[in-house]
Amino acid sequence: MNITCTIGLLLCAFAQSSTAQQKTFDWTRASDEVVQLDPADYHSGRVYRPGPGGGNMHIDIQAKQPVTIAMAFADDWNNALQHPDPATLSNLTYRCMREHVTTTTYECHLPSERPMVLIIQDERTPDRAILTGIVAVLNRGAKKFISPNDLKITYYSWTCVNNCIQPEYQWFRLVKEKYELTSVPKIYSLLTPERDGQQLSVKIKAPVPMTIAVLPSKFADQIYDKPETLSSALGNTFCKQRGVQSLTFDCHFNLADGPQSLVIKPDASFSGHKKAEIELQTVRCIANCGQ
């Protein structure tokens, strides 16, 4: 019988998560933006709103002429544009600045909970007879005598690309009862496993040492008819405990083993009326089970 038994709910939780294939994430193309920049002109791209732990951004840039790329806090940038002045724009805090770019994949890790905007500037010096500094550049009415810089921005999003729909699991109680001990083995018919690695949690509390084991039902049926076969039947499982009185342990099923049963028997003789408590739970798939 290929049932493995592990001790501890943490190991059980790890095994549960490993039964489904892990999701795979990657940068996927979201949208394109085409811009024409005059010499020394700025373009404000997408605004990113990272969460409490910050976040990453990823874009591709293709420019006909070199550009400078950076990220700025969106509120600072918007305030600066309301009073367009070279000193104000120069004194802003920029992150992940890269210069002299024509073709690149640009990435930046953003701080938490404060929106940031993508800024791209054409690096060419404007014709002073036409444009006089950033104030004139920001005036969109200025006449263009210089060929514009063709710029293409490809935005990406971090999304699931494989195993995106995951099965959902939930613990279900199979048995919870207090029963009176006898010298005859107590047998519970549990379930037929629905998948390899399905978990079973066993909790027992008894006044005397007990042997407890999860077995294929065919072996449990033999024990019911012939209690003396218990010792040999225990050789067919790793999911067993001997001499326990208060214990919680976990087992993982093999689908090929078919229906399963739980067998409990006192390890020593006793007198009087004594009761043991048993609780059994298993994890079952409740949604997306065919994934």
**Under DSSP, is residue 231 helix (H, G, I), strand (E, B) or coil?**
helix
How does pLDDT run across 190-225, given as a tens digit for each residue?
Answer: 889 988 889 999 999 999 999 999 999 988 888 888
pLDDT of residue 132: 41
Please tell me the distance from the alpha carbon of residue 6 to that of residue 15, in angstroms, as a whole number: 10
Please tell me the distance from the alpha carbon of residue 138 to that of residue 46, in angstroms, as a whole number: 19
> pLDDT tier at 139 (50, 70, 90 boundaries)?
low
Are 30 and 157 part of one and the same domain? yes
Taking the model in full, what pTM does it have?
0.55
Q: Which of 141, 162, 183 is the last residue of a domain?
A: 162
Name the least confident of 76-80, 179-183, 188-192, 224-228: 224-228
Are 151 and 198 part of one and the same domain? no
- Residue among 58, 259, 268 at smallest CA distance from 157: 58
Sheet strands (E) in 111-198: 116-122, 149-162, 168-180, 186-191
Q: Using an 8 Å Cβ cutoff, are 223 and 230 in contact?
A: yes
Are 158 and 251 part of one and the same domain? no
What single-letter amino acid sits at 153? I
Q: Using an 8 Å Cβ cutoff, are 175 and 85 in contact?
A: no
Are 136 and 197 part of one and the same domain? no
At 280, list the tokens: 């059994």
Are 232 and 133 part of one and the same domain? no
Q: Which of 162, 194, 218 is the last residue of a domain?
A: 162
At 106, list the tokens: 């640009």
Q: Which of 144, 162, 180 is the last residue of a domain?
A: 162
The residues, ordered by sequence, that sit 6+ positions from 246 with a Cβ below 8 Å of its Cβ are 204, 205, 206
Higher per-residue confidence, 152 vs 129 = 152
Please tell me the distance from the alpha carbon of residue 128 to that of residue 138, in angstroms, as a whole number: 14
At 153, list the tokens: 């921005």
Are 81 and 55 part of one and the same domain? yes
At 25, list the tokens: 């994430």
Are 102 and 125 part of one and the same domain? yes
The alpha carbon dihedral of 130, 135, 141, 146 has a sign of positive
CATH label of the domain that carries residue 220: 2.60.120
Q: What is the mean pLDDT of residues 109-119?
A: 92
What single-letter amino acid sits at 34? V
Report the 10 Å Cβ neighbour count for 246.
11
Are 141 and 182 part of one and the same domain? no
End-to-end CA distance of the chain: 27
Radius of gyration of the chain (CA): 34
Instruction: Give how many domains the chain has, as a whole number.
Output: 2
pLDDT at position 261 over 70? yes
Q: Using an 8 Å Cβ cutoff, are 42 and 121 in contact?
A: yes
pLDDT of residue 14: 41
Are 242 and 179 part of one and the same domain? yes
Structural domain of residue 191, as residue ranges?
A: 4-20+165-287
pLDDT of residue 156: 96
Report the share of the chain in percent with pLDDT over 90: 56
Are 126 and 56 part of one and the same domain? yes
Sheet strands (E) in 8-115: 24-37, 42-48, 55-73, 94-110
